[in-house]
């Protein structure tokens, strides 16, 4: 195990943890500024900030390195993390066309969508759930197309006989981009269902104490009395007209 956990392993995990802390602090600061008290919304914004940071600062350099050569042969410091992850999935080392294509989609579409969605949430924009659904579907599509092609040919590029590579690198980190998008899709489903469902008529709520209720009752009684008086007056006029004729 000591041979597996290298300095790059520790640094990579620490950087990821630091990103997570920065994301939570940033999200809670934004929500506090906009008076967003919902704990769920705070965690959604935290995830989106974390997601955007990962897409731009980690996957962005991967796309550049893979477009110019391969991560395996790169000496740039940003290649170290992907060389470490490549121990679990060899395709990330050799500029696999499917992986690079998906990462381009992730960097140039998913990253900006995360930023737009954060803005839509904190500013309470009407297009929030549309963007959220699009982003979640893109994330799930990316996860499926990352692993499904390799599964069909017997997973020759995945290292599954090592606990760290299997459960931490492959299952945990990739699983985040499956479980959380699914949860956010469910959130959008619930919110849209509530917004579009037929509203039941609700009883009038009176504010204030008994004096307010008494005043409201008096107003209603006055209106009823006026209505009855108008009705009696109209009936009397009709009777007088008939009598004259």
Tens of pLDDT, residue by residue, the chain (245 residues): 545 788 889 999 999 999 999 999 999 999 999 999 999 999 999 999 999 999 999 999 999 999 999 999 999 999 999 999 999 999 999 999 999 999 999 999 999 999 999 999 999 999 999 999 999 999 999 999 999 999 999 999 999 999 999 999 999 999 999 999 999 999 999 999 999 988 765 554 444 444 444 444 454 455 555 555 555 555 555 555 455 55
CA atoms of 117 and 49, how far apart (whole Å): 10
What does the pLDDT read at residue 6? 85
Determine contact, residues 93/69, Cβ cutoff 8 Å.
no
Determine contact, residues 136/114, Cβ cutoff 8 Å.
no
What does the pLDDT read at residue 3? 57
Burial of 168 (0-12, 13-18, 19+ CB in 10 A): middle
What does the pLDDT read at residue 128? 97
What does the pLDDT read at residue 200? 60
What does the pLDDT read at residue 224? 52
* CA neighbor of 71 nearest in space, from 98, 96, 92, 97: 92
What does the pLDDT read at residue 220? 47
Q: Quick check: helix, strand or coil at residue 89?
A: strand
What does the pLDDT read at residue 130? 97
What is the phi/psi pair of residue 126, to 5°?
-70, -25
DSSP 93: G
What does the pLDDT read at residue 178? 97
């Amino acid at each position: 195990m000591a041979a597996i956990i290298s300095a790059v392993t520790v640094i990579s995990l620490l950087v990821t943890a630091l990103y997570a802390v920065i994301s939570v602090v940033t999200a809670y600061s934004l929500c506090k500024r906009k008076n967003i008290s919902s704990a769920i919304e705070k965690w959604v914004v935290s995830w989106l900030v974390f997601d955007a940071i990962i897409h731009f600062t980690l996957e962005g350099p991967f796309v550049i390195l893979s477009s110019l050569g391969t991560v395996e042969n790169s000496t740039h410091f940003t290649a170290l993390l992907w060389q470490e992850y490549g121990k679990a999935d060899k395709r990330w080392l050799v500029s696999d066309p499917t992986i690079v294509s998906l990462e381009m989609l992730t960097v140039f579409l998913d990253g900006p969508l995360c930023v737009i969605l954060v803005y839509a949430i904190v500013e309470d924009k009407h297009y929030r759930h549309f963007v959220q659904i699009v982003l979640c579907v893109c994330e799930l599509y990316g996860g499926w197309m990352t692993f499904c092609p390799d599964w069909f040919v017997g997973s020759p590029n995945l290292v599954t006989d090592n606990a760290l590579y299997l459960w931490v690198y492959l299952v945990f980190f990739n699983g985040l981009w499956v479980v959380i998008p699914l949860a956010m899709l469910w959130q959008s489903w619930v919110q849209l269902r509530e917004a579009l469902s037929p509203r039941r008529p609700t009883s009038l709520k009176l504010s204030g104490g008994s004096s307010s209720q008494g005043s409201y009752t008096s107003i209603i009684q006055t209106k009823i009395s006026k209505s009855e008086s108008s009705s009696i007056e109209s009936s009397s006029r009709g009777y007088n007209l008939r009598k004259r004729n």
